[in-house]
Amino acid sequence: MDRVKELVMSVEDKVIEYRRSFHKYPEPGWTEFRTASVVVDTLQNLGYEVRYGKDAVTKEDMMGVPSDEELAVFMERAVSQGANPEIVKNMEGGLTGVIAELKCGEGPTFAFRFDMDSNDIDEAKDDKHRPYREGFSSVNEKAMHACGHDGHTAMGLGLAEVLSNMKDDIKGTIRLIFQPGEEGVRGARAMVSAGAVDGVDYIIGAHIGFQSKKVGDIICGTEGFLATTKLDIKFKGIPAHAAAAPEEGRNALLAAATTAINLHAITRHGKGTSRINVGILNAGQGRNVIPPNAILKIETRGLTSEIDDFMHESARRVVEGAAKMYDVDYDIKIVGGTKSGYSSPEMIQIIKEVAQEMDYFKNITENSDFGAAEDYSHFMSIVQQNGGIGTYLQIGANMTAGHHDFYFDFDESVLASGVELMTRTALKVLG
């Protein structure tokens, strides 16, 4: 274990450099071309077997993907910011997921998931914000790592290097999953379909901060992941002069407004938490025109996937009814979604034992109720359905602002501790 500490210390500066590089060049979901390119290059150089592009993402199961025109712009930008052109070309269409394996003989398969995408936020630009002051704040418009995914990806590369140097101490397979599109819960399903967790016996996902808010804190397991479905709803009516011929129009705005009100009237579920929210409603073309167009962006959530399915199907009936009422056409598109989940008690205990062996963690909590959605739960629930176990860690960090805030930043000492914790856990299970 002294060797683990030495190896982690030897990569700590490199991990911080990774984090700052990813932070400077943030990329939202399905546009992580530069980030994934760095990941692929690094892992291949470390001797991992790497799958990416169409071998790591099933195109048919991708949700909430930008247009081909937008993706082409992001691909070009990634290359201009240092991405490997050949790797970027192989990820055309937004296929930015990466799966890497280190095969170390017979034994179980232990997977780690790291999310790579950024938020759609303009980062703060003043001297009280450390990334701006020290020159690694975002240079990409409307993109910022305001949730710590830059740190997660950096930890993944640090873990990859340490484990590659300890290959002879491992009996089994290490699988590293670098996921696009976690924000909006858009990416896990397409990677699961491509075999990301096939044959996995153990799986870990981790998040910096969140409910674990101070350096030295750790939450070893998480439950209460809400299943969720993200929907874009479009109504198409017929325009007409609002004064001269209103009877000739078909009012999409009224259909959307009726939908918004009645979605919030859906009966709640008796078996657990259920949620619905209309986040955006845009409609109409002019003051004196019967509105022929409307779009709503909504989400449903449930304590279980069964409850979320109930909310989702109820929402569809509301939309259909409103469309009939105003004689307009409609289209519903799923742009995100993930399963509910809970950490396995056996895996929580393994993490707790490892954390207790380290000097770094002073406040160890076994489990917490998440009360929100995280795309990792889709990976974990599939592993559990297939007989494996998994958990979701929350690694404490001092933060300058809350997640998704344009002043978000964290104490980078957490990166080395996260690498060490995951390395020791892999060795405990596969050593």
What is the pLDDT, as a whole number, of residue 120?
96
Give CA–CA dist 376/225, Å, rounded. 9
Question: Could you count the other beta carbons within 10 Å of the beta carbon of residue 386?
Answer: 12
Distances (CA, A) of 54 to 92, 324, 381: 9, 40, 23
Q: Cα–Cα–Cα angle for 65, 293, 316, nearest 5°?
A: 65
The dihedral sign for the CA sequence 418, 424, 430, 431: positive
pLDDT in tens, the chain (431 residues): 689 999 999 999 999 999 999 999 999 999 999 999 999 999 999 999 999 999 999 999 999 999 999 999 999 999 999 999 999 999 999 999 999 999 999 999 999 999 999 999 999 999 999 999 999 999 999 999 999 999 999 999 999 999 999 999 999 999 999 999 999 999 999 999 999 999 999 999 999 999 999 999 999 999 999 999 999 999 999 999 999 999 999 999 999 999 999 999 999 999 999 999 999 999 999 999 999 999 999 999 999 999 999 999 999 999 999 999 999 999 999 999 999 999 999 999 999 999 999 999 999 999 999 988 899 999 999 999 999 999 999 999 999 999 999 999 999 999 999 999 999 999 999 98
Task: Give the tokens for residue 47.
Answer: 């001797």
Distances (CA, A) of 28 to 184, 187, 344: 10, 12, 30
| β 329-338/227-236 pair status | antiparallel
Residue 150, phi then psi, degrees to nearest 5: -60, -40
What is the pLDDT, as a whole number, of residue 270?
93
What is the pLDDT, as a whole number, of residue 237?
98
- DSSP-assigned letters across all residues of 248-290: G-B-HHHHHHHHHHHHTTSPPPTTS-EEEEEEEEEE-S-TTB-
- DSSP-assigned letters across all residues of 173-218: EEEEEEES-TTTT-SHHHHHHTTTTTT-SEEEEEEESTT--STTEE
How is residue 167 annotated by DSSP? G
Place of tokens 């500066």: 13
Report whether 94 contacts 61 (CB < 8 A). Answer: no
What is the pLDDT, as a whole number, of residue 372?
86
Query: Strand, helix or coil at 103?
Result: strand
Query: Strand, helix or coil at 403?
Result: coil
What is the pLDDT, as a whole number, of residue 344?
98
Task: Give the tokens for residue 263.
Answer: 């979605």
Counting beta carbons within 10 angstroms of the beta carbon of residue 265, is it exposed (0 to 12), middle (13 to 18) or buried (19 or more)? exposed
Q: Give the pTM.
A: 0.93
Sorted by sequence, the CB contacts under 8 Å of residue 76 that are 6+ apart come out as: none
**Of 400, 411, 390, 398, residue with least CA distance to 188:** 390
User: Is 3.80.10.10 the CATH number for 227-338?
Assistant: no
Q: Cα–Cα–Cα angle for 230, 232, 238, nearest 5°?
A: 165
Q: Which residues pair with 290 in a beta bridge?
A: none
CATH, domain 2-224+340-430, list 2.60.40.10, 3.10.450.50, 3.40.630.10, 3.40.1370.10: 3.40.630.10
Give CA–CA dist 34/90, Å, rounded. 12
Question: Could you count the other beta carbons within 10 Å of the beta carbon of residue 273?
Answer: 16
Residue 102, phi then psi, degrees to nearest 5: -120, 105
What is the pLDDT, as a whole number, of residue 1?
60
How is residue 60 annotated by DSSP? G
From first CA to last CA, the distance across the chain in angstroms is 11
Sorted by sequence, the CB contacts under 8 Å of residue 17 that are 6+ apart come out as: none
Domain edges within the chain: 2-224+340-430, 227-338
Quickly count helices (H) and strands (E) in the chain: 12, 14
**Of 30, 47, 10, 111, residue with least CA distance to 379:** 111
